[in-house]
Chain A
């Protein structure tokens, strides 16, 4: 038997009926139109494809069944020979756990060793199984090629295949414990999880063939081998490799302790994990982590970290030490590491100041203020911080789009999450991460529990201290899962990053230990974000532009930052307990409370209502600390999530069904009255097919609304809840380093001009595999028509070119790229394509308002603001004023003849009203010459208003500014100015303190730009 899949993915639709229709291309190759029957329609399809295949002949020439590079009568004969229904193998989810309430069963992949595995099929989703008796096989996980070469079923439970009979009714009556499953081996070498596939052998012939159901059988041929299930050993325990440790130094602040597998000489290049300690800590304090990770096949280097002066020096030592070990691997330890460091797979872990230092180090790579000798930013696969500080703030300590992780102890007495001090709020850096990200919040752990020897800084209620050994059990297992997933693409490890701790925790972690997990896919995954609460501040509109309705009480949407410096509940601080952002950060969410049945509902916009290609509904939630509702209902919080389709059919699931609701805040006291520390977000991911259980009837192809329901009828009686990041996830994982990737060098951008073909160049390359020839493809379509696929043109040096035909203003353009790797199979750009594609707007940004300041526009001025010719005066600090405008001689400036004053209150320059009616995507652009001391002392602002009385700050100095030339500024003011009839702009000088004067504001050549589109004649 020859079985091939053509583009199958484990998505919702596939779970509904994994009929493998695409198998028509191989298993049933004559079924050209994929209707699972070889019939006259396929003859007609062949006639439509008639002729010679392209030259050179591609690997898959549609219709060429005889593979002679011609679609001809021989292919018709092939079709006639295959006439009739195709045999099908059904790919389904089978293995999972029993739940006490609806949906009564959860399909999962990771099972701890010794756990019972259950198999279930819902007859309402698979009615054809009713009355069928079959054999359940749990077999060693096989790759695609292995299944193709050997389809024999060999059960490994030790009790033989298990006979089961499916009946009419519900999923509960069709759920079966698998005998012997608790004895399955977890032996996975240096990996996590021994893979198994689960098969329902319907014709009971011990062969995987037509009519059978399988959970596994990865069709992607990728490095991530998605098998039906994995049995996971105790990942707190050391791995199978013995470990050698060496200490050495390359000079000042280059002292290093490195752990590596003793048999590294027999290994190839393996990833490098770098550990950067915190202030007053030592690089020899992380043996527990270094030895653990090295025993699983990693090189781990912990280095001296210069944290005393601050974060910049700490980040420098992370960078220089990484450079040093890579650049000196031929001599370190007598050359034992030489050739064994996989520079393309680097991980940085930092603790406290070092935790901020690693984020800052990555930021410096991105902004190119530091250029390493031996690696690049793209080699950093993962950055993780243990209880980091946030000294440097917005724009400086940011992980950008690198995969990022945070681990934090709720009883931290140092970087304690204090509401008075954002420097001590570790989650701020986590919130800035824009790639895939995960967080682990460990109740009862303190700051120094994550090293061997720091002082005991525990702050928390008596009896809740879990202690250093237990905290390190969590740390070891979390880091192992984290690195195995992000660096090696390990599939079951991912579940240790997002399933609630009540649902899955490592065997060696005490059952009483509580920790909260957050997990968020990158926007690059192609997920649909229903509401991230950031781009649309109104409570009645989601960020995806759908309507939001509710009857919960005291709803508030905004930046998640602690504004009053106290955890005491106060209605004037609705974001109480939200130590997630500074006021200058964008991280936003929604908070509300209730004490009776209430709801919050998100409309799904019409273009995104088909959920069938997605896997999870994902969101995060937390309880509001010390709120009266939280206090009076102290405990895990439960509520219902409902999907409603276009016919008003609905299906609801209690989040508590998956064990554990939303955790109550750790009952630490201080920083106000009452008990309860910072709010603890947890991610909830509900498999979309769970909403179909037992014939709910909801149509996943037409979801009209996602509704959250609270109160006595739906879970907890009362509560104060925050929600954020409500997304429909396709569960696309982060790219595996070294595998084939597509990166645009020159792309279309967010805007393409009308009437002009666009040439795009992509870099398509891989370090650890080969590109399959002739598989680089460009797919595009206009206005929802079927995609046109054309080969990309090789340009040399792994670069390939594609041309997007000219589009016009009324067009909707969508495109994506694909290529095939020898290991990864077919990969896409964007990663989530073809569900998630590039769709630039057609048009351009045009100047819609201009003020050159050649003549006085008559704006309102205060203090020394004036229109005129700057004279080059001032400059006690930071340099003098300009001597001319950017163009012409005149500007608006604060004191055209010198510096601003000491003890200056705010002094404003305010524009006249500007009409922005019918404008979209409005930007403010102007040329600036500014001198101002750092904001600890002196201030400069740009503000905007639509009524002249209420002002929003859109820019302020975050450091000293000492312009020595005119600098162009571009600020997105669309959130305030789009379609507004009156827009006022304001530049503010001040306040200033008692000394150090600078030249202040000078502005020239102001423009407002907006999106416009006009087709060429």
Chain B
């Protein structure tokens, strides 16, 4: 473990050096792992048709989970072409629907089993760490990397949200959404972008347009 930790510390130092040398309009990546600022909203969802979670190497099929609204340090989510900090929720990567670098609000989808605590994919919100881990492409993040990032988050003393905060976010999010497909979930997510991160209206519009059936056209 010591060796592994050293490897990560070395990588982190390298990343920090890069940021230090590159004086630029692009903000430096804050120290990682980094916690979110707070959970604003949590809403469970279930879908009749599953979809593929492309934000991890294993790409599991998703039929349920949570749609989260998170307040974050804007520098963590500044759009970069090189690797960005990966958003983790417990033992899974989260899909970021928007960037949130102007608003500071990220809307994210976390695949999870909602009810069966014995299922490995069950997410206990009151025990779950939510954090930004080392920069990587999410599609290359495998179970092993998630385990390691989780260890690093623990070592950095990142804590789960309090039960009170979780309950408040659940209250804010509202009842479980029961939807037909990912397409309907996108429509819902688009509304949340318009509410929390209106600077990214273009993402919301694209989601709304993509979700429309049949294809829509505008001049």
Listed in ascending order, the chain A residues whose CB lies under 8 Å from chain B are 245-255, 278-284, 304, 306, 308-313, 328, 331-334, 352-353, 387, 389, 391, 413-416, 418, 420-421, 423-424, 447, 454-459, 670-672, 903, 937, 993-996
A residues near B96, Cβ cutoff 8 Å: 308
Partner of B206, one of A282, A387, A937: A282
Chain A CB count within 10 A is highest, among B1, B3, B21, B203, for B21
B residues near A994, Cβ cutoff 8 Å: 1, 3-4
B residues near A352, Cβ cutoff 8 Å: 81
Q: Which of B179-193 contact A (CB under 8 A)?
A: 182-183, 186
The reply to whether B144 and A995 contact each other, CB–CB distance below 8 Å, is: yes
The reply to whether A279 and B1 contact each other, CB–CB distance below 8 Å, is: no
The reply to whether B217 and A332 contact each other, CB–CB distance below 8 Å, is: yes
Partner of A252, one of B21, B23, B140, B182: B182
The reply to whether A353 and B79 contact each other, CB–CB distance below 8 Å, is: no
In the complex, what distance in Å separates the CA atom of A415 from the CA atom of B21?
14
B residues near A333, Cβ cutoff 8 Å: 217
Chain B residues bordering chain A, tally (CB within 8 A): 47
B residues near A455, Cβ cutoff 8 Å: 25-26, 78-79
The reply to whether A251 and B139 contact each other, CB–CB distance below 8 Å, is: no
B residues near A903, Cβ cutoff 8 Å: 3
Partner of B212, one of A249, A387, A414: A249
The reply to whether B138 and A414 contact each other, CB–CB distance below 8 Å, is: no
The reply to whether A255 and B209 contact each other, CB–CB distance below 8 Å, is: yes
The reply to whether B203 and A282 contact each other, CB–CB distance below 8 Å, is: yes
Q: Which of B108-122 contact A (CB under 8 A)?
A: none
A residues near B18, Cβ cutoff 8 Å: 418, 420-421
**Total cross-chain contacts (CB, 8 A):** 144
B residues near A278, Cβ cutoff 8 Å: 81
Q: B127 interface residue, CB < 8 Å from A? A: no
Name 15 A/B residue pairs within 8 A (Cβ), A-sorted.
A279-B81, A308-B96, A311-B139, A312-B139, A332-B215, A387-B81, A415-B82, A421-B18, A455-B26, A457-B24, A670-B21, A671-B21, A937-B144, A995-B144, A996-B144
In the complex, what distance in Å separates the CA atom of A920 from the CA atom of B210?
59
The reply to whether B82 and A424 contact each other, CB–CB distance below 8 Å, is: yes
Q: B149 interface residue, CB < 8 Å from A? A: no
Partner of B81, one of A247, A253, A334, A389: A389
Closest partner residue, chain B, to A244 (CB atom): B219
The reply to whether B140 and A310 contact each other, CB–CB distance below 8 Å, is: yes
Closest partner residue, chain A, to B97 (CB atom): A308
Partner of B217, one of A246, A313, A391: A246
A residues near B78, Cβ cutoff 8 Å: 455
Closest partner residue, chain A, to B208 (CB atom): A249
The reply to whether A247 and B209 contact each other, CB–CB distance below 8 Å, is: yes
Q: A278-B81, A455-B79 are in contact. Are A248 and B215 (CB under 8 A)?
A: yes
Listed in ascending order, the chain B residues whose CB lies under 8 Å from chain A are 1, 3-4, 7, 14, 17-18, 21-26, 54-55, 78-84, 95-96, 99, 101, 137-140, 144, 182-183, 186, 202-203, 206, 209-213, 215-219
Ordered nearest first, which 4 A-B pairs have the shortest CB separation?
A: A280-B79, A310-B137, A310-B139, A352-B81
B residues near A937, Cβ cutoff 8 Å: 144
In the complex, what distance in Å separates the CA atom of A415 from the CA atom of B210?
29
Partner of B138, one of A252, A281, A310, A418: A310
A451 CB → nearest B CB, Å: 12
Partner of A458, one of B25, B139, B217: B25
In the complex, what distance in Å separates the CA atom of A284 from the CA atom of B202?
8
The reply to whether A459 and B25 contact each other, CB–CB distance below 8 Å, is: yes
The reply to whether A391 and B137 contact each other, CB–CB distance below 8 Å, is: yes
In the complex, what distance in Å separates the CA atom of A311 from the CA atom of B137?
8
The reply to whether A420 and B139 contact each other, CB–CB distance below 8 Å, is: no
The reply to whether B82 and A280 contact each other, CB–CB distance below 8 Å, is: no
A416 CB → nearest B CB, Å: 6
A residues near B7, Cβ cutoff 8 Å: 993
A558 CB → nearest B CB, Å: 24
A334 CB → nearest B CB, Å: 8
The reply to whether B25 and A457 contact each other, CB–CB distance below 8 Å, is: yes
In the complex, what distance in Å separates the CA atom of A304 from the CA atom of B209?
11
In the complex, what distance in Å separates the CA atom of A680 from the CA atom of B37?
43
A900 CB → nearest B CB, Å: 16
Closest partner residue, chain B, to A253 (CB atom): B210
Known: A251-B215, A282-B202, A311-B137. 10 other contacts (CB 8 A): A246-B217, A248-B217, A250-B215, A254-B215, A279-B79, A353-B81, A413-B24, A420-B21, A455-B79, A671-B22
B61 CB → nearest A CB, Å: 15
The reply to whether A308 and B144 contact each other, CB–CB distance below 8 Å, is: no
Partner of B219, one of A246, A420, A671: A246
Closest partner residue, chain B, to A877 (CB atom): B144
Q: A251-B213, A415-B81 are in contact. Are A459 and B219 (CB under 8 A)?
A: no
The reply to whether B137 and A309 contact each other, CB–CB distance below 8 Å, is: yes
A residues near B4, Cβ cutoff 8 Å: 993-994
A residues near B3, Cβ cutoff 8 Å: 903, 993-994
Partner of A416, one of B22, B144, B210: B22
Q: A251-B213, A309-B54, A994-B1 are in contact. Are A413 and B95 (CB under 8 A)?
A: no
Closest partner residue, chain A, to B2 (CB atom): A994
In the complex, what distance in Å separates the CA atom of A312 from the CA atom of B57?
11
The reply to whether B82 and A421 contact each other, CB–CB distance below 8 Å, is: yes
In the complex, what distance in Å separates the CA atom of A900 from the CA atom of B163?
44
The reply to whether B24 and A280 contact each other, CB–CB distance below 8 Å, is: no
A residues near B139, Cβ cutoff 8 Å: 309-313
The reply to whether B14 and A420 contact each other, CB–CB distance below 8 Å, is: yes
The reply to whether A423 and B83 contact each other, CB–CB distance below 8 Å, is: yes
A463 CB → nearest B CB, Å: 16
A residues near B82, Cβ cutoff 8 Å: 389, 414-415, 421, 423-424
The reply to whether B138 and A251 contact each other, CB–CB distance below 8 Å, is: no
The reply to whether B215 and A309 contact each other, CB–CB distance below 8 Å, is: no
In the complex, what distance in Å separates the CA atom of A455 from the CA atom of B17?
22
Closest partner residue, chain B, to A672 (CB atom): B21
Closest partner residue, chain A, to B218 (CB atom): A247
Q: A251-B183, A252-B183 are in contact. Are A246 and B206 (CB under 8 A)?
A: no
B residues near A284, Cβ cutoff 8 Å: 202
A residues near B212, Cβ cutoff 8 Å: 249
A residues near B202, Cβ cutoff 8 Å: 282, 284
In the complex, what distance in Å separates the CA atom of A284 from the CA atom of B209?
13
B residues near A420, Cβ cutoff 8 Å: 14, 17-18, 21
The reply to whether B203 and A308 contact each other, CB–CB distance below 8 Å, is: no
B residues near A995, Cβ cutoff 8 Å: 144
B residues near A454, Cβ cutoff 8 Å: 79
Q: A415-B81, A423-B83, A994-B4 are in contact. Are A670 and B206 (CB under 8 A)?
A: no
The reply to whether B210 and A249 contact each other, CB–CB distance below 8 Å, is: yes
Closest partner residue, chain A, to B135 (CB atom): A423
In the complex, what distance in Å separates the CA atom of A306 from the CA atom of B216?
20
B residues near A304, Cβ cutoff 8 Å: 206, 210
In the complex, what distance in Å separates the CA atom of A352 from the CA atom of B84?
14
A residues near B83, Cβ cutoff 8 Å: 391, 423
B residues near A418, Cβ cutoff 8 Å: 18, 21-22
A242 CB → nearest B CB, Å: 14
In the complex, what distance in Å separates the CA atom of A903 from the CA atom of B79?
36
In the complex, what distance in Å separates the CA atom of A251 from the CA atom of B212?
7
A residues near B84, Cβ cutoff 8 Å: 279
Q: A282-B203, A415-B81 are in contact. Are A456 and B25 (CB under 8 A)?
A: yes
The reply to whether A459 and B215 contact each other, CB–CB distance below 8 Å, is: no
A932 CB → nearest B CB, Å: 14
The reply to whether A279 and B203 contact each other, CB–CB distance below 8 Å, is: no
A residues near B14, Cβ cutoff 8 Å: 420
B residues near A328, Cβ cutoff 8 Å: 215
A155 CB → nearest B CB, Å: 49
B70 CB → nearest A CB, Å: 15
B residues near A458, Cβ cutoff 8 Å: 24-25
A406 CB → nearest B CB, Å: 14
In the complex, what distance in Å separates the CA atom of A312 from the CA atom of B84?
16
B76 CB → nearest A CB, Å: 13
B residues near A311, Cβ cutoff 8 Å: 137, 139
The reply to whether B23 and A459 contact each other, CB–CB distance below 8 Å, is: yes
A residues near B210, Cβ cutoff 8 Å: 249, 251-255, 304
